[in-house]
Amino acid sequence: MSLVNGLLYAAVTLVGSLVAGLYVFQENLLYHPSIPTRRYEENPNDYLMAYRDIFLETEDGIRIHGWLVLQPNSRKAPTFLYFHGNAGNISHRLSDVQHFYSRVSCNVFMISYRGYGDSQGRPSERGIQRDAAAAFQFIRSCELIDPRQIFVFGRSIGGAVAISLAYRFQREIKGVVVENTFTSIDDMIDYVLPALRWCKFLNRNKWNSAAIVSSLTCPILFLSGLRDELVPPKLMKQLHDLATHSVYRQMVTFPDGTHNDTWFRGGSAYYDAIATFVHKALSISDK
């Protein structure tokens, strides 16, 4: 074998290995249940919130875990299904959820996606969609909850989870709130990993919210941190503009909000926007 042929063979082998690795291990690039840690570091009691441990089985037999945080008169309060981002677990969102609890006066059902926290399995788009469906099916039949006041919230990739769930069950969901989410993972590759644009055909975790958000008729609130360093705010604007069939849609921006702290930097205005949206969505459904 000549030197040139040898180098060509080595290059083809390297590219082939890279492609195979991207295909096989792509979930490891997208989902990070162990950053900063997979174990729960706190629980709702640490934030003076009453809760119940909930274990569910998904349609493919995976056991997932969640916390159902309850208002004192839970049947009279709206309930949010809460979908977090791609790193950490539900214990890392308790400070945020405490504000939902106290300022929006709602119940919150937080779930750990498969492979996160105390949930079994490994994360994938199809698997997390099944987790979300199991959580919704539980909450709509829970005797502690008013099924006529169910909302979904999602941050970052959780926004894609929320939109996907609402697409499937929108007749039973009163409203959707998404924060700093994206149009699709393929679009995010263009921004975050532009060198890998050529291999987007290998992506099996599409989370293509842009393709389905126009089908949603329920009210939608878009919360966007304008200093988001990961998801370009223009993708949130694109999602908002695509939601043309929503009976009521609203975009609220926070000039100082970055990808992970928009809820914190937004302060009272952030939660006031959610509370006002809940009231508006429920009033629309009563007409």
Catalytic residue from among 32, 118, 259, 261? 259
CA 72, CA 251: separation in Å to the nearest integer? Answer: 31
Neighbours of 90 (CB within 10 A): 26
CA 68 to mean position of chain CA atoms: 17
> Is 156 in the active site?
yes
Catalytic residue from among 124, 228, 240, 246? 228
CA 158, CA 86: separation in Å to the nearest integer? Answer: 8
> Is 259 in the active site?
yes
Helical axes 125-141 vs 157-169, angle rounded to 10°: 60
Catalytic residue from among 74, 156, 164, 224? 156
Distances (CA, A) of 163 to 11, 85, 197, 269: 41, 14, 25, 23
Distances (CA, A) of 153 to 48, 121, 132, 159, 191: 22, 23, 11, 7, 24
Active-site residues, by number, are 156, 228, 259
